[in-house]
Structure 1
């Protein structure tokens, strides 16, 4: 069920809020949200629900076993951990191979159909993180209802953010579900509306022009200006689309009293490749850093460069087994290695004046756009065609209108000037930042030039935004990352 679907907005969500408010104790509310979330997921297909429930049962058993095994029994605990990790990855890999063998899972897709069980990639990583925490004794005891809620809770179930069992369990123990709060409802709906506007009014709108150019460029020639427009616009679309889902998930969770972690931190203001990954899809990057990069250095004793290469390539494979995703991962690896060794050799830092900051941000964004072209194009031949048209001047008549450039400017304004969710709602949203303190970019907690308040004026703005979005819902498509 899509967050922008009529069934969700006019039936599932209102009924869920009403039922949650009417229930009188924490346990009944938690049970209700688990049941509602499983229904939400099963709406995509009964077979998907079977995969989800089976995965939950198996991983709960693995995690509980790791918690029960004594510390001296190291070999058995290590065997159980690897059995769980390999089992999760094998399940994910099997479905991705089946999608690839069907001839339709090679690369990026714009169609509505999903080729693997919905959200399997996100669920797999979340459960691997869970059993690893059980192995490390970060989790000492697993409560069945808390675990069910941790995996199934519908706001973050489909596309994250990837959450940790410890964080959710702590909120449940504190009694976050104990009371229905009108402040939570107001703040949550406002955050949700902010994300809905980014999706419906911006990401879906600019998609029309991006898809028009990319679809044409793969088979025939387009003007060079149109090709550059599409490459830049797609990066904006990707950010707005994915961050919109994160905002909507955060808002929905807040309605029910749960705080989800921040997943984006102004990524288009990044100054180098590492800075991009500190700001983009934060929960995924933290997972890769904690469960892939650091173990490769500390346990496998690999050099930093080799660990970076493996992590970068795996991030590409996680998105898909198609050659374009593998190429995207390889290019990300080369860029990170180049940035790493440049800083090491020249002992450079991101300090400097405004001119240097502007140049660094502009250069990083340009490279990110060129990388996004590889991500967006479904085949290697298509990548060659797109890059060929970017690098050679072709003064063909433009297929774009003046309106398309107006949309581009508005999207750029939201991406660079308008505050991120954690800035706009910082007075009311106690966001969790999964990043280590020393890896957070400067300015994360700085006040914004505009801030949300619980006032009549902001209530009117939020209400009007929701109304406008609802009137345009028929034009809304699925979220880009649903396919992964």
Structure 2
């Protein structure tokens, strides 16, 4: 069930909210959200729900065993950990392999069909994080009802952010579901509408001119540059819109989800970009792949970085373009690392240098994005040739396409981010270490939301515009992963 569908907005969500507020017991409310989340997931296919249930049972069993086994029993605990991880990875790789065959080897897909069980990649990572937490005794006791909620909670079920059991368990144990208010609804709905507008008014409308360029046999160099830049804007607006909507939906029920985007296109280098883009995924890969490789396996940091980047590509899909994309990520991060090491830190860069670094990072990201966006290896050469071999074929883009591009650029670079606009009410958690956060998260900006008539009018207009456009809304891009 898509967040932008009438089934969700007009039926599912209102019914769940009304039932939630009619129930008074936190336990009853928790059961309601678990059952409704499973119904939400089963809407994508009952067979998908069977995979989810199997995954929940297997990992709950593993976590319960690990939390009960004494730490002195190292070998049995290691065996349970690795068996659980192997089952999770085998399940994910098995379905991705089937998808690779069904998709005829294609990587990125524009079709609406999803070739793996919905949200399997996100669910797998959450389960691995849970089992590892039980192994390290960060999770000392497993509450089965809280665990079901942690996995199934529908706002973050499909595309994250990747949450930690400890964070959800702590909120539930503190009685969050029992301490709800109309303020939760108003702020949650406002954040949801903001994300909805980014999705249906910008990301979805950018899709058509981008796809038109990529699907045309011969296009002008000018048009191809438009397409690769616009695709980056579309990808960010689409994915961050989901994150906003998920945070807003969770807020309605007084649950805080992690921040997943922090102005990524204001990043000054590749490492800075990964501190800002899909934050929960980057934190997971660092915690569960990079750090163990360096500290436990004693692998050099550079090699561990390459392995982590390649695995991040494989997480998106087994297509060869995703593997190449991961390899290029590793190469650029290594070059960035050595450049910083040799040149030393720039203590007070000028504004011109900062703007130049941001522009260069976006340019490089756009050029790499071609590998991510192109479904098959054969198409890469064609795209890069269109970019660097001048072709003055008549443009196929309209003035409307350029207007959308400029509006998207304005929203991304000149308007404050969601957490800045809602800074007064922002309660989403930040998984990044304190010394690894760019300044300005949930801080006052030149535009800030409050409960006032002008903002009520703004959101009324946004809702009206979304209602008029929602029938043409497509699936979220990251659903396919």
Shared fold per TM-score greater than 0.5: yes
Q: Distance in 2 between matches of 1:146 and 1:269?
A: 37
In structure 2, what is the equivalent of residue 359 of structure 1? 356
In structure 1, what is the equivalent of residue 195 of structure 2? 195
Q: Distance in 1 between matches of 2:160 and 2:309?
A: 20
Q: Distance in 2 between matches of 1:97 and 1:270?
A: 34
In structure 1, what is the equivalent of residue 410 of structure 2? 413
1:465 aligns with 2:429: no
Give the CA deviation at 1:348.
Answer: 3.2
In structure 2, what is the equivalent of residue 371 of structure 1? 368
1:126 aligns with 2:126: yes
* Contact persistence 2:126–2:163 (CA under 8 A): yes
In structure 2, what is the equivalent of residue 110 of structure 1? 110
Equivalent positions of 1:74-85 (< 5 A) are 74-85=74-85
Query: Of 433, 441, 451, which residue of structure 2 is paired with 1:444?
Result: 441
In the TM superposition, what whole-angstrom CA distance separates every residue of 1:325-356 from its partner, at most 9, and x where no partner exists?
Answer: 11111110100111111111222347401011
Equivalent positions of 1:308-347 (< 5 A) are 308-347=305-344
In the TM superposition, what whole-angstrom CA distance separates every residue of 1:143-176 from its partner, at most 9, and x where no partner exists?
Answer: 0110000000000000000000010011111111
In structure 2, what is the equivalent of residue 455 of structure 1? 452
In structure 2, what is the equivalent of residue 13 of structure 1? 13
1:90 aligns with 2:90: yes
In structure 2, what is the equivalent of residue 211 of structure 1? 211
Give the CA deviation at 1:445.
Answer: 4.5
Q: Distance in 1 between matches of 2:180 and 2:70?
A: 40
Give the CA deviation at 1:116.
Answer: 0.3
Q: Distance in 2 between matches of 1:269 and 1:224?
A: 26
- 3-state SS in 2 of match to 1:177: helix
RMSD: 1.0
Q: Distance in 2 between matches of 1:350 and 1:119?
A: 42
* Contact persistence 2:123–2:157 (CA under 8 A): yes
In structure 2, what is the equivalent of residue 25 of structure 1? 25
How many equivalent pairs are there? 481
Give the CA deviation at 1:475.
Answer: 0.8
Instruction: Specify whether residues 351 and 127 from structure 1 end up closer, same or farther in structure 2 by C-alpha distance, changes over 3 A only.
Output: farther
Give the CA deviation at 1:403.
Answer: 1.2
In structure 2, what is the equivalent of residue 222 of structure 1? 219
Give the CA deviation at 1:449.
Answer: 0.9
In structure 2, what is the equivalent of residue 231 of structure 1? 228
Equivalent positions of 1:264-283 (< 5 A) are 264-283=261-280
Q: Distance in 2 between matches of 1:364 and 1:231?
A: 14
Q: Distance in 2 between matches of 1:36 and 1:254?
A: 17
TM-score by length of 2: 0.99
In structure 1, what is the equivalent of residue 41 of structure 2? 41
Q: Distance in 2 between matches of 1:22 and 1:351?
A: 56
Q: Distance in 2 between matches of 1:289 and 1:239?
A: 22
In structure 2, what is the equivalent of residue 69 of structure 1? 69
Give the CA deviation at 1:402.
Answer: 1.0
Instruction: Specify whether residues 21 and 376 from structure 1 end up closer, same or farther in structure 2 by C-alpha distance, changes over 3 A only.
Output: same
- 3-state SS in 1 of match to 2:176: coil
* Contact persistence 1:342–1:348 (CA under 8 A): no
Q: Distance in 2 between matches of 1:3 and 1:443?
A: 29
1:247 aligns with 2:244: yes
* Contact persistence 1:20–1:180 (CA under 8 A): no
* Contact persistence 2:105–2:319 (CA under 8 A): yes
Segments of structure 1 that go 5 or more residues without pairing to the other structure are none
After TM superposition, the structure 1 stretch with the greater mean CA deviation from structure 2, 341-350 or 420-429, is 341-350
1:256 aligns with 2:253: yes
* Contact persistence 2:102–2:115 (CA under 8 A): no
After TM superposition, the structure 1 stretch with the greater mean CA deviation from structure 2, 112-121 or 179-188, is 179-188
Give the CA deviation at 1:422.
Answer: 1.2
* Contact persistence 1:259–1:429 (CA under 8 A): no
* Contact persistence 2:422–2:442 (CA under 8 A): no
1:307 aligns with 2:304: yes
Give the CA deviation at 1:287.
Answer: 0.2
In structure 2, what is the equivalent of residue 293 of structure 1? 290
Q: Distance in 1 between matches of 2:284 and 2:105?
A: 25
* Contact persistence 1:272–1:364 (CA under 8 A): yes
In the TM superposition, what whole-angstrom CA distance separates every residue of 1:367-392 from its partner, at most 9, and x where no partner exists?
Answer: 01111111111111111100011011
